[in-house]
Structures are given as C-alpha cells and as structure tokens.
Amino acid sequence: SQQGEEDPQALSIQEGENATMNCSYKTSINNLQWYRQNSGRGLVHLILIRSNEREKHSGRLRVTLDTSKKSSSLLITASRAADTASYFCATNRDDKIIFGKGTRLHILP
C-alpha cells in the first residue's frame, strides 16, 4: 500500500514562479524524504526532514512537516527549466521505505 501520496499529480508553471507540492501519509514516521527523478533515471535525494523537525531549507528548496496532519510540502522557489522532473516523497514504516506516486513538474519557458 502507498504510504505517501503526493498532490498534485502534475503541475505546470512558468519559469521563475514558485512550485509547491504536497505529500500526505497515513502512519507515524521516523523521517520524510523528498527525491527528484528526471525522466526514466535514478532518483536523486533532495532533502530529509526528521519527525521532530517542522521546517528545513536547502538552497531554493523549503520543506515543511506537520506530523499532526500527517503531511509535508516541498516548495521550489524561482523555478528553472532544469527543475522539470518528477518529485517523490518517501517515508519509513518500520524498516520499510514507502514512496508516493509522485508529482510531475513541468517548467514552461
């Protein structure tokens, strides 16, 4: 079963705008991670936020975590063409890692 569920499924924005993606999950977690995947390639780790953290930044990325709502958001500021990719959240359930189905982000020139 899918623990993490991202929304929207797909998102198209103009270059320079901010992109926000959300992830919801069902059970308690140790941490939540966001990954990026360029078409058909391996996933690349973006950021990890632990269950006792509420917000984390890395460059143009900002991740929030609300454990009471079992949700997280990924904000990409000042989007660029190179940000076009699929984005996945992943959570731990015991020793297993559960990925969501992803958000496809398309940056329009």
Site residues (vs another protein, CB under 8 A): 1-2, 30-31, 33, 35, 40-45, 48, 50, 88, 90, 92, 94-102
Residue 31 CB, shortest distance to another protein, in Å, is 5
Is 47 or 75 the residue whose CB approaches another protein more closely?
47
Residues recorded for the chain: 109
Nearest to 79 by CA among 39, 25, 19: 19
Is 18 or 51 the residue whose CB approaches another protein more closely?
51
Rounded CA separation 82/53 (Å): 28
Residue 48 CB, shortest distance to another protein, in Å, is 6
Rounded CA separation 40/38 (Å): 6
Is 15 or 31 the residue whose CB approaches another protein more closely?
31
Residue 97 CB, shortest distance to another protein, in Å, is 6
State the virtual CA torsion across 75, 78, 80, 84 in degrees, nearest 10: 20
Is 69 or 96 the residue whose CB approaches another protein more closely?
96
Report the chain's C-alpha Rg in angstroms: 13
